[in-house]
Structures are given as C-alpha cells and as structure tokens.
Amino acid sequence: MYINGQFTSGNASEEISIVDPATEEILDAAPRGAAKDVSAAVDAARAAFVDWKRVPANERAAALHEAAAKIRAHHEELARLLTREEGKPLPENDEEMRWVEDTFDYYAELARHERGRVIPPGEPGQFNFVLKEPYGVVGCIVPWNYPLLLLAWKMAPALAAGNTVVIKPSELTPLSALRLVEAACDHLPPGVVNVVTGYGPEVGEPLVTHPHVPVIAFTGSLAVGKHIARLAAPMMKRLHLELGGKDAMVIAPDAELDMAVSGLAYAALINTGQVCTSTERVYVHESIFPRLSEELADFVGKLRLGNGLDEGVDIGPMIRDEFRIKVEEQLAEAVSQGAEILVGGQRPAQIPRGFFLTPAVVTGVDHRMRLMREETFGPVIPLMPYKDFDEAIALANDCQYGLGATLMSRDARLVKRFFEEVKAGTIWINDPLTDNFAGPFGGMKMSGLGRELGQEGLDEYYEVKHVHWDIEGGVKEYWYPY
C-alpha cells in the first residue's frame, strides 16, 4: 500500500493474489488491507490537506502536469501491466493510458481558470462573491474494468481542486494503480495521495464511513452504490456514484449498414463488453433487421480472441470466471425463453486457459428477458426489431438505467427527437462511446449521481461558499427593534 508517501504492508497479515485473466497465472500479490490502514491513510491525507489546499493554483497545475509527464514516460509499461492485470487488448490499454495522461493535463489547466464568481450586491456599499473550496479528503473507490482511467477521472480533479485522496482500487486490479502512484506521484507532498488495497467490506466500507472523509467517488455496480449511499447518508457525505448502465442503440432505417455494423460491434464488445457504457440493447428498424443481423453475425464471428499482449487480437478474456458464468446464465435463460444465438456465446476450445467467451449475437429477444433488463457486462449483442421511431424511443427508455444511448442515423429530425426524448446522460450520434474532456460524463435514473469530466467533473470536488460583505457597515433600519 502507499500511505503518507511510503510503501507499506500496513496492518495486513494476508495478501491478495492477482491473476492474469488470459492465462490464469498469478502475477503478483497485494496486501489485504484493514480498517486500521484506512485510518492511517485518512490521517495522512487530513494532515497533508492543511498545506495542499493553500498551494497556489499555478503550483498545483505544475504538479499535475509533472504527474502527466511521468505517466507518459511509463506509458508502455503501464499499458502492458493493464493488459496483464485486467485483460483488454494492448491497443485498448494504449488508448486508456493516453486518456489518463491527458486527464491530468486537462484538470491542471481547468483548476486555475477560476475559483468562484462575483455577483451583484443587493445594496450599495456591499460586496458579494462565491468561493469554491476543496472539501478535504476524497475517497476514490475504483473498479477493475478501467483501473487507471476511472482513477484519473476522480484523482486529477480532486487534487486540482485542492483536496487530498485515499484510493481504494479493485482487489482484482490493484497493481496498475500502485505502479502509477509510484511512477507519477513521488514529487507530491506525503499524504496528498494514498492507496489502500483490499476488499470492499474490509477497506471500502471503513473508507465510506470514516468521519473525516466528506466525499466518496465510486464507480461500480448499482447494488454496491446503494449500499454506499445507505452507509453515507447518516453523515451527509457528498456522493459521486457512477453505477453502470444498460445502454441502448437504435439503428434507423436510413443508417449506413457498414458503419452501423462495425460501430455496434465496437460499442458492444470493447473490453469484452465489460464497460458501463457498453451497448447492451439494440433496436433495429424492421426493414433492415434481417440484413443487419446477418452482416453483424458475420462480422463478429471473424473477430480474433486471445491474450491481449499478442498482436492482432481483437477480444481479450473476461476478468474472472464468475463474470463469465453470469453471462452464460443470461444467455441460457434467454434461449429457454425463445431467443436464438446466431453466433458465439461459447468457451473457445482452441484457448484452453483464461476466462474467454466468444462474442455472441442474439435475436428473438424481448424485455421480459434478463438479457434485456439487467446489466450483462459481457460480450453479447441482443438485437430486437421495431416498427416506427415512437416505438424505438419507448424501448430505449424502458429501462431503470440511463447512462448512455446511441442513434445511428443521418436524419436530423430523428436525431433531434432522440437527444431530446431519450433519458440518458450521454447521447451519441453515429459515434458511440466517444468521450470529450470538456463534456460531462454520468448517468440519469439508476445510473447514479454526479458527473465526471468537464467543468462539472471539477465542481464535484468543490463546496460552495457565499460571502456577503458590507463594506460601509453601520446600523441597518431593518434590525431590531421594530
């Protein structure tokens, strides 16, 4: 673990073995942290906050730029470690690392842009202004599917705003977070950045319930997000919860089929479908449904599975066998209810080890099936026809989640209806799963609270203070006695 500027085993008496999902070999081990380790990290972060919050914005910006430069210097090493630890093919982790590096640079600049605003006073002789101030210690609870990207989206704005952080990486992928901190944060004052490794009940819950951690930033499942909300509610903590989705894609009758097929395959299968914004429900106009289904099955069937470090691999393994089993159960249940698997959905016989599952294209689905209601988080593309655009929008909105949604169409009238009527935090038109540093990312409905990226992502780590200053002073006529 990394506490107060030093690597330590802390109070851990056991270790967590970290497994390569492509080979099932043990890569390394991390300490199994405990509540005492969380307390030590929070104490260090609280002590460091006293000075860090007073560091001028230009100096904090320089510190974040230096972190970005150090991460770039270790780009290839970290990308390969990500692939070994969580399985994405190397090109996808190369992209993740570029996003990590640029996130630190982006927030380095954004945080010195402004610290509040001046507002018009109510009376002459008064001065009114709004200050944005850091909260203190931010607890960053990070998932396994994008261990460094989703860490950067929390850590960079939190530090830029003047907070300190205690990071709890996933117990499945702690190595990349530890290596990033080791490589990129040694110039920061001790205690500004801390990492405690371990399981949710033993490390995550003590972090959430610690009285001196006013902000919790979490990405993960809806069930865990609700649990965090219950734990944090009595202490009125600021919660930033990104809780996944069941994203819809609507393919209009005017869509270019080549673009729709390849774009859909990418949106559904990047990181083996283990993305909160993966396309998990697809609605295709009935006039093009047979042709698109056939072309998509042919395209997906040609994608190459294998170890993400090998050249030419398109699809890596799933993170663990229990996640693969969940996907297989959803597929089997859907088939029992009338669905048909056009291609995939099997463990590849030619790859004897690793948690691989061939990507599946499924038809004959409907909203009775778990496959169309619950988050799948795996390499499955279920296709469902629709008759008209009213039905398509109704189907897209028929879900408890509202993280993202995609439309494939060149018709401006359909596009306008789609982004106005579909309830989701991000709407993509013809270019799914593309982010923008300046554009906020987050969900509606059960997909969570708060936003990452953009000015909104920085404001998550500020609390707001209004200052009313009567410069003239004097007794006011509206004071007592009446």
Output the CA torsion sign for 429, 432, 436, 438. Answer: positive
| CB of 118 closer than 8 Å to CB of 68 | no
| CB of 364 closer than 8 Å to CB of 337 | no
Separation CA 153–CA 135 (nearest Å): 17
The DSSP output letter for 452 is B
Helix or strand run (H / E) with residue 450: none
Using DSSP's 3-state secondary structure scheme, residue 381 falls into strand
| CB of 46 closer than 8 Å to CB of 136 | yes
The DSSP output letter for 245 is -
| Inter-CA distances, 199 with 109, 142, 232, 244, Å | 35, 12, 18, 20
Separation CA 280–CA 277 (nearest Å): 8
| CB of 400 closer than 8 Å to CB of 241 | no
Please list the active-site residues: 242, 276
What lies within 8 Å, CB to CB, of 66 at 6+ separation is: 187
Instruction: Specify the length of the chain in residues.
Output: 482
Helices (H), ranges, 172-244:
174-184, 205-209, 222-232
The DSSP output letter for 478 is T
Closest-CA residue to 169 (of 32, 39, 76): 32
